[in-house]
Chains A and B, each alone.
Chain A
């Protein structure tokens, strides 16, 4: 019952997102006809009118909104004005690149963040712990595009280890492994850049919750039992201190698409972020709405999944629900 209720809320939320986004975009002055004129270096009145009627922009607002929602309910996100392709096709084409980037970055941030967090929680006043904190804060506060450009200058220009832009080198020919290696090489810098934001969050959070857990009674009991330090930290303490980290990771996952926009732009990563930026600049309403709808869907599903994950990790949550 509870689950059904949540799903129902989720659907209502998604519809609200659709209506809100559509209305807000409609309120903005100007439309795709202007950006098409821009990309063409000018246009005359006739052509502008034609574009507007081709895309139904001359219809009243409510008619346009109604038509859009009707289409979405039939799993049709419409046709991109700018690329003249179905929005669903565009999103699906760009999705794998973004998922690859974001999931790898999240995984890296999570693993390294937790390790750093645990390490610095065990030596809270050591020099290296302060170093970890400093490093994490730096990663969090530096704007990602700046971190990205710095990494590019360091590792593409001064020490040319990694390529500057894109996901594949189209001039590379070879079998699966050659191509996989090529993609891996292109991935390193964007993944490190994107994970630098999350790394800070995870390591700080993990450190705090680990320190709290390490100070609790049952850890003292475990120590009294004569368990090794290693067992205490990994088996007893870590498991309990992970639940806030997992909650955060779940919530962050939704923010990941927004973070990916900047990283993808700097590294010309052919993902959803680049598409989102391009369509916003071009005022390509169906594509923007499609991506926003998709992001909302990811957030909603992400939250549901986080709940499920927490139930697995923490039996207390299971009891409450």
Chain B
């Protein structure tokens, strides 16, 4: 009997130990994670194809020198350590020694140099590596990036979304890297997962790379990324457990519905570096919107709260400048334009735009490029009628039609969505720099905004190595553009990540699903 009691006590103790272990949530090895892609990737090589759709499989297939969590501090990844020289003109990466590509060949500094060169030549974001003049490779595991000027943006550019390390012995075979057959099939990567199968429009199947350099990782055996274009179908699949994880969900109605499902977590965390912003852009060179007073009046007449509450149903956050509010460089103390119809009318009266007999002062067009923006465009028409501006909503049949109009500077106002892409040098400067007024190029400075001080500030901030000084430069920039309103920022995009409670460590870092999921596991 006594023995029985003792056994019982031991058993109870064991059970409690096990329970504690379970609540501490040790990551578990194994399992297949099923995630969704809202579109089909063109191919899987992020070195020559930017964007979040290639980013999700790309970050699993390819490792980068650095990685980021929820905050903006770089973490070691392929580079176990790094050093920026005092003059800021060279960045030394010390690579981990045991890293291999999926074909077993070692990852060396040669591959880093080759990746930088391929990205410089083929990636659309030219500013990322523009100051890099050469990459020196004193030994197999040391790569030194030589710069023509200090380039703080490099730190964010060295993450998986923007700087995948690709094997020189595969992609350096002389074929054009943009159309290389191994961008889609037989991808040889450096990341935690290797490619099993990519069927365009259907799925990407990835499996654990056993030779991955981080001990014990990745935890998952497989990741299946299914292309499901219809947001309602994705929502149902998440609810019934067919999908474990979906990122970049942006339909407000669905988000609010999914928030109520007990088996799921729905969160807006994880998009700060992607930095998606909605704004109303103005043609600042021609027409009535070239007058800054008209732009001010329009901003006062548009009720941000209506957009945030009635159109986006409370799923998105206020944005006041061209930098995403999640960025450490965001300046919230800028001119704001809370709804004030009387003030807006007064500004226009004072500026000499008298109302005609029909109560209208003048007319403007407002464009939108994709159906999600239609409510904003229609709201603009209703809102500006109150201050005597007769707005016609111009629909575009599809994206190229809209891009042609806006890129060709043939517009008064347009609703737009633009991403920050990490550092302002990559995704912010392009909208405001006068040197980037390039006819025919969408998401260049299509507003044709010119301000010498802004140009100067962006130029200096781009190469300012001191974080505090850099922040001050960007603050001044944000204050000026908030005064002059080449665009009127309304909100961040309501991007949400939805995941099953079975998923541990979902990708909630600043790069969302464009970050490696080696730590993600299934409970």
- For A268, the chain B residues whose CB sits under 8 A away are 226-230, 233
* B125 at the binding interface (Cβ < 8 Å): yes
* A319 at the binding interface (Cβ < 8 Å): no
Which of B199, B240, B404, B427 meets A270, CB within 8 Å? Answer: B199
- For B201, the chain A residues whose CB sits under 8 A away are 94, 270, 274-275, 278
Q: How far is the CB of B369 from chain A (nearest CB, A)?
A: 9
Stretch at the interface among A26-34, A134-142, A233-241, A298-306: A26-34
Q: Is the CB of A165 within 8 A of B226?
A: yes
If A37-B124, A157-B236 touch, does A170 touch B404 (CB 8 Å cutoff)?
no
If A82-B42, A84-B179, A164-B242 touch, does A30 touch B441 (CB 8 Å cutoff)?
no
Q: Is the CB of B124 within 8 A of A265?
A: no
Q: Is the CB of A270 within 8 A of B202?
A: yes
What DSSP secondary structure best describes chain B's contact surface? mixed
Number of A-B contacts (CB under 8 A): 162
Q: What mask results when residues 398 to 409 of chain B are scored 1 for a CB within 8 Å of chain A, else 0?
A: 111111110100
Q: Is the CB of B240 within 8 A of A28?
A: no
Q: Is the CB of B407 within 8 A of A34?
A: yes
- For A204, the chain B residues whose CB sits under 8 A away are none
- For A149, the chain B residues whose CB sits under 8 A away are 232-233, 236
Q: Is the CB of A40 within 8 A of B49?
A: yes
Q: Is the CB of A42 within 8 A of B443?
A: yes
* A156 at the binding interface (Cβ < 8 Å): yes
- For B205, the chain A residues whose CB sits under 8 A away are 170
If A41-B51, A44-B126 touch, does A157 touch B240 (CB 8 Å cutoff)?
yes
Q: Is the CB of B440 within 8 A of A170?
A: no
* B43 at the binding interface (Cβ < 8 Å): yes
Give Cα A76 to B285, complex, Å: 47
Q: How far is the CB of A150 from chain B (nearest CB, A)?
A: 11
Q: How far is the CB of B273 from chain A (nearest CB, A)?
A: 13
Identify which of residues 156-210 in chain B touch chain A, using a CB-to-CB cut-off of 8 Å: 179, 183-184, 199-203, 205
Give Cα A149 to B237, complex, Å: 12
Q: Is the CB of B442 within 8 A of A37?
A: yes
The 3 A-B residue pairs with the shortest CB-CB distance in the complex, in nearest-first order: A30-B400, A40-B50, A34-B403
Given contacts A42-B125, A84-B184, A153-B236, 7 further A-B contacts (CB under 8 A): A29-B404, A34-B400, A40-B124, A42-B418, A83-B184, A171-B224, A265-B229
24 of the cross-chain contacts (CB-CB < 8 Å) are A28-B401, A29-B400, A34-B404, A39-B39, A39-B49, A39-B53, A40-B50, A41-B50, A42-B125, A42-B442, A43-B124, A47-B124, A83-B184, A84-B43, A165-B234, A165-B242, A166-B228, A170-B205, A265-B230, A268-B226, A275-B201, A281-B399, A283-B398, A283-B400
